[in-house]
Structure 1
Amino acid sequence: MDTDAPDLTGAATWRDPGWREPAVAWAHERLAASGRTPVGRPEQVHVRAWSTAIRIPTDDGAVWLESVGAGSAQEPPLAVALGRWVPGRVPVPLGADAGRRLLLLPDGGTTLRASGRGGAVEAWEALLADSARLQVEVAEHAGEMVALGVPDARPERLPGLVAGLLADDDALLAGSPDGIDPALRERLRGSLAQLAELCRALAAGPVPASLQHDDLHDGNVFVAGDGHRFFDWGDASVSHPFLALLVPLRVAAAALGLPPGSPALLRLRDAYLRPWRAFAEAPALHELTGLALRIAPLERALTWHRILRGVLPEERAGWQASVPGWLAESGAPGPLDVVPGT
């Protein structure tokens, strides 16, 4: 891992007045331009090594100043673009500074998790159907998203990206107790040709590349009267859209107390796939979903690697095991696989 990468950030960055005060001043300028006036002290309610969020009360409701590390630099310009392309499905930014990785958003309301409705299968069905509709609508902009700096993880590129990660001793914590198992590393290296075949099958399928959230769950979506508003694009890439199913299926299974392969999880898969029926019939979509879920843990490992490369080394250590951890998941049963004895 390149510990000399420029512009490293961490919680120490976000709490530094030298960063915070100019960032808040920028937000006040944007608020003035939009006709809003701050009416209270900013409150920094979210601090992670790779991002922060500051709540600013105004005379027209609260707004949120967000900033991300270099590994999530795509988020501000992507959020602005999504506000143009699908304004009904995302909070529309009040301002963005791509160079400083700043984003100013209106308050989105209540997340599904905070609403207390995340314990119902129907709520997850609606979330996944709306997320698929967003992906369908923005698929035509895949090239534009890559040009904006959204990481390009389309299936044809994934084998090379995974091969590069497997060659990185530092990223894999090779030789440490939390690092990748050497046998797993060799197995993954030996299966790169098979991965390439799977990726070719996905790329050749009828479903186009689109936005892949890569961390979609009930805490990253606002519940609105007419649907959902999706946010937190720091993990996002342009990839096969069905890879986005991995995280919500895992989180839903935990929230609903469902074992792998549960019929309720198949209901969630099918709710997600209905908006894609314009591209293929259900059996073909089921097959593509199976392929995507086999590959998705590898992209999660790549995402963690990308984000952690932008984090200060002293703050990186507590999260670095996520990279080999997700690589290990690639050989484990997926959320739709029936596990004997469950």
Structure 2
Amino acid sequence: MRSDAPAVVDRGRYQDAVTPWERQDWREDVFGWAERRLAAHGLRETGPRKVRLRPWSVLVRMSVAGGEAVWFKANPPASAFEAGLTEALARWVPGYVLKPLAVDVGRGWSLLPDGGTLFRDALDSAARTAVDPRAWEEPLRQYAGMQRALVPYTDEIERLGVPGARTAVLPETFDRVVEENTALEPADRKVLRELRPRLVGWCEELAAAGIADTLDHSDLHDGQLFAPEPGRFTFFDWGDAAVAHPFCSFLVPARAARERFGPEALPRLRDAYLEQWTGDGRTQAELRRALSLAWRLGAIGRACSWGRLFPAASSSVGGAGDTESAGWLLELATEPPL
């Protein structure tokens, strides 16, 4: 396996971002490692590679003889935990995630099987005949079921290096992210400082609902899950994950569904997600209120995740991470639509 094998490289809108892919010695290490791990599964790479470079990951699609493609992923240091988390999730909730072919926890490398049809592609295909806002309901039910199944593993998830953004300490997390952000204008900082007492109250109210913190994907849009067969969904791409209130996860898919289907889809999707959280003595009104609070607070997790870039990429893209993070922080001042 040659590190300089033909490759089609996609840099998206980050043409100047510097990633480890630029280094030949790194590529040689990667593909030597991948070759050995593929051989352990009786697989051999064939054909050109497709490379997707972003400030937050290096992703390589590798064709293998006699089978589906496999995917290599490298995370930057701040999200290197994804390799170990992916491996652990395959043990804890095997029906919901991909089982990696190999991981290198220390280097943040993963070798993954192909997951089948992306949910986004399934939605696009369905849209040619009918637009159905209910399409998100079953994925959200299954995702919430996975979150509940992971509650007993919360401490172990943090020990894997997954960042903590637990409800009780979220105001301190907010303070740190605001302090470190270089893109906030003075007027924006004033808005956020004035918002902080309300934020503390939201966190206290959400914690009082008594729903345990667990794994929050933090970026569960329609390109972060597969639909390999009718009625089954597989969740992946955990580089933005945090240990947080589970309901914070609803923010991103709800926004994606609202953009595609309109705001009228949101109540049904909210109730589909909440189905897994009933039966513990909480009323529907209490659960809906908790979800509304978490919708707003989920913006902090999104702001945090934009700091997890390759160090060289972070400087070369001109503070894009801070700009995106600032935008999410200011979303805290927006009233949730539910």
Unaligned runs of 5+ in 1: 1-8, 174-179, 337-342
Distance across 1 between alignment mates of 2:32 and 2:116? 24
Q: Is the 8 A contact 1:212 1:244 kept in 2?
A: yes
In the alignment, the residues of structure 2 paired with residue 55 and residue 316 of structure 1 have an alpha-carbon distance, to the nearest angstrom, of: 28
For 1:197-256, what per-residue CA distance to the aligned partner results, in whole angstroms no more than 9, with x for missing partners? 221222232311111011001111000224100001010001000001111111111111
Residue 159 (str. 1) matches residue 171 (str. 2): yes
Q: How far does residue 77 in structure 1 lie from its aligned partner after superposition?
A: 0.6
**What letter corresponds to residue 195 of structure 1 in structure 2?**
L
Contact 1:246 1:296 in 2 (8 A): yes
- Does 2:222 correspond to 1:215? no
Contact 2:165 2:242 in 1 (8 A): yes
Q: Give the 3 Å change call, closer, same or farther, for CA 49–306 of structure 1 in structure 2.
A: closer
Instruction: Sort the Cα spacing of 1:310 and 1:203 in 2 relative to 1 into closer, same or farther, 3 A.
Output: farther
Q: Confirm or deny that 1:21 pairs with 2:21.
A: no
- Who is 2:112 aligned against? 105
Give the C-alpha shift of residue 307 in structure 1: 4.0
- 2:19–2:53: 8 Å Cα contact kept in structure 1? no
Name which of structure 1's ranges 214-223 and 32-41 shifts more when overlaid on structure 2. 32-41
Please tell me whether residue 298 in structure 1 is matched to residue 300 in structure 2: yes
Q: What is the deviation of 1:123?
A: 1.3
Comparing 191-200 and 50-59, the one that deviates more: 191-200
Whether 1:185 aligns to 2:189 is: yes
Aligned twin of 2:135: 123
Does 2:279 align with 1:274?
A: no
Contact 1:139–1:210 (CA<8 Å) still a contact in 2? yes
Mean alpha-carbon deviation: is it higher for 190-199 or for 60-69?
190-199
In the aligned structure 2, how far is the partner of 1:215 from the partner of 1:310? 23
- Residue 166 of structure 1 aligns to which amino acid in structure 2? V
Contact 1:220 1:230 in 2 (8 A): yes
Contact 2:314 2:320 in 1 (8 A): no
Q: Which residue of 1 aligns with 2:102?
A: 95
Contact 1:163 1:189 in 2 (8 A): no
Q: What aligned pairs does 1:202-281 form with structure 2 within 5 A after superposition? A: 202-225=206-229, 226-256=231-261, 258-259=262-263, 262=264, 264-279=265-280, 280-281=282-283
Change (3 A) 1:324 1:131: same
Structure 2 contact 154–243 (Cα < 8 Å) conserved: yes
* Conservation of the 8 A alpha-carbon contact between 1:70 and 1:310: no
Task: Name the stretch that deviates more: 105-114 or 301-310.
Answer: 301-310
- In structure 1, give the amino acid aligned to 2:116: G
Partner of 1:284: 286
Other-structure match for 2:44: 37
Provide TM-score, normalisation by structure 1: 0.86
Shift of 1:150: 0.5
Specify the alignment match of 2:53 in structure 1.
47
- In the alignment, the residues of structure 2 paired with residue 328 and residue 18 of structure 1 have an alpha-carbon distance, to the nearest angstrom, of 41
Once residues 222 and 41 of structure 2 are traced to their aligned partners in structure 1, the CA distance between those partners, rounded to angstroms, is 30
Q: CA distance change for structure 1 residues 131 and 327 in 2, over 3 Å: closer, same or farther?
A: same
Q: Distance in 2 between matches of 1:166 and 1:308?
A: 20
Relative to structure 2, which stretch is displaced further, 194-203 or 100-109? 194-203
Q: Indicate conservation of the 8 Å contact 1:308/1:320, yes or no.
A: no
Q: CA deviation at 1:308?
A: 7.0
User: TM-score normalized by structure 2?
Assistant: 0.87
Q: CA deviation at 1:55?
A: 1.1
| Pair 152,253 (structure 1): closer, same or farther in 2 beyond 3 Å | same
Please give the root-mean-square deviation of Cα atoms over the aligned residues, in Å: 2.0
Q: Does the 8 Å CA contact 1:10/1:50 hold for their aligned counterparts? A: no
Alpha-carbon offset, residue 19 of structure 1: 1.7
Q: Is the 8 A contact 1:69 1:310 kept in 2?
A: no
- The 8 Å contact of residues 50 and 310 in structure 1, kept in 2 or not, is answered as no
Which residue is equivalent to 1:142? 154
Structure 2 Cα separation of the partners of residues 335 and 133 of structure 1? 24
Deviation at 1:103, TM superposition (A): 0.3
Please state how far the C-alpha of 1:91 moved relative to its aligned partner: 0.7
Q: Aligned partners of 1:274 and 1:111: how far apart in 2?
A: 24
Taking the TM superposition and a 5 Å limit, the aligned residue runs for 1:59-74 are 59=65, 60-74=67-81
Confirm or deny that 1:172 pairs with 2:174.
Answer: no
